Structure 1
């Protein structure tokens, strides 16, 4: 008896996803609740667990296919895996059946019917999809079908080799086409939407990092011993930003229709790296957290982002974003707003530069700050005032302690 594996509920307003990877292949033994596939949504990757223990049955969809919530993507057969071995033999046995022959021809003659992963496999192996019997749902081709056809017909694959040999004469240049992940598609769509909707402008300032660097060097060991987390720079910037947002509430506001929504809380979105690209989890009520609490939250986000374990709810909302391109070596940039937010702060690398202090030229560790904002809501005066307030708090961290 086979149990269907369905696409789980992925979160509010999310109705579909892309199959990113199969973690179990047909015939593999599967435990209950063991992940068998990975789905890519608009925000994060989600693992699909097996509803029962048994043996992995047939895949109903291929990597790269779009699947709807509630759709069946595979089956789990009862047993311990021993009975699964004959399953691959059943597919070749069906090949001579005359009634099934026309289906692959139709599929092969219609490239649009092939999934992105199968189209890529066809190009890589140089085979004709019309000559291959599909073992997928409704006779569709799978990557395994293409690989099997390529390995079982050496004579067929040798024919395309002659034109391929001419490639080195042009310098051996190659191209590879890879379908954009759903996360990357969503990022592209939202960033372009921000450019098309907001009247975006960027204001710059620089900040002397001497005081923060000295405080970090003096207290980092005690801080880590007491709080169990390293003392970084983001804790200072997030805390200083929450204070500046309280003074300049329009930077923390958003536009909805013909209304301005002001927030009396600061939910700070912070960009962190994940295997699939940058994701932006949210530090809720950051104004109520200490520097230690902020560092703990960011550290937890970073760890789980690398593991692909961030949850949907942790990526929603946010009233203001901080992006630290400095960790990658960026000197200066113009960050793009994350709608429906109205502003984003860009941090950059720290480098020693000559500056004038009390009439003397001295070398100080300086960082450029960039505030991109929606000019429909935020005036230039407010943007500059926000950056100056942030600069003052970082250059004199005592202000953070006494809320000045």
Structure 2
């Protein structure tokens, strides 16, 4: 029935409905934003509590892992708390001259200090176990820092009621969820020493060395291992981090040492690493390119780039695509398939772009946890 006719038949009811509509629109116009902010804050609050549970789970796993190798009555929980809150302050960038050299030095100091503390409390752990413990603590620390940051912005937005700040956090929740979930899954892989997706490059190096008749690597330049082989008249030097502990090594130093050792014979450096895929891309997809395929803070990438530029050596990249979660969690079958394809691509690059008696450096980049030598 039209409202005009309703007003003629029952003026009181018509007036009541009109007032209700007016109040509804008034409340929506003046308080709709506040209502939306409250709804978002409730959702963010639930998520913060979820991340807090995961952070606490990471702390418990770290304590349990360290206790397995501890001796005596050391307060392991307090020790782990200290390592989880361990901070790294990057060098000043206002004076860019030598910033990467300073960063390299600080990273070395941090690694020695961090591992020294682990060895102190987990005195029964061998070198491989210490490397794995370091990975467990790194994953637990990442979850803890993620929780601290998210809680910080949640409380700030809750106090201010600023819809712009709240909406930004709300929009980022799906991405933060993926990151947090990846680190949570990584805890299990690091604790049990399982190979992870990020180790794809190292696995390629191992398979290539085995196929070329050099299945065993030898220690080389700190935390790297090396295998020397020949392929169709070419001299192949294969580098990767030492396993099966959780290490990435310093490929930059290794490549520079081989370049100096070979004195101009090296004509190509081929680097294999895991790379982040786009949503919708196939896991394990292998792509070729040019450049130093290595992540991290940039120190090793810089060393390799400087070394090859000074000697006019070409750098090829072979990248195995995967998501962040797949890089940090146990290696999937699709990634193993990509590893085998990457090995064949490396052989193709060597055949097409080098001549007999040339030397080629093949670098398998990535975390070698669970991948033996």
Q: Same fold (TM over 0.5)?
A: no
Q: TM-score, normalised by structure 1?
A: 0.22
Higher relative contact order (CA 8 A, sep 6+): 2
The structure that is helix-richer by fraction is: 2
So what's the TM-score if we normalise by structure 2? 0.23
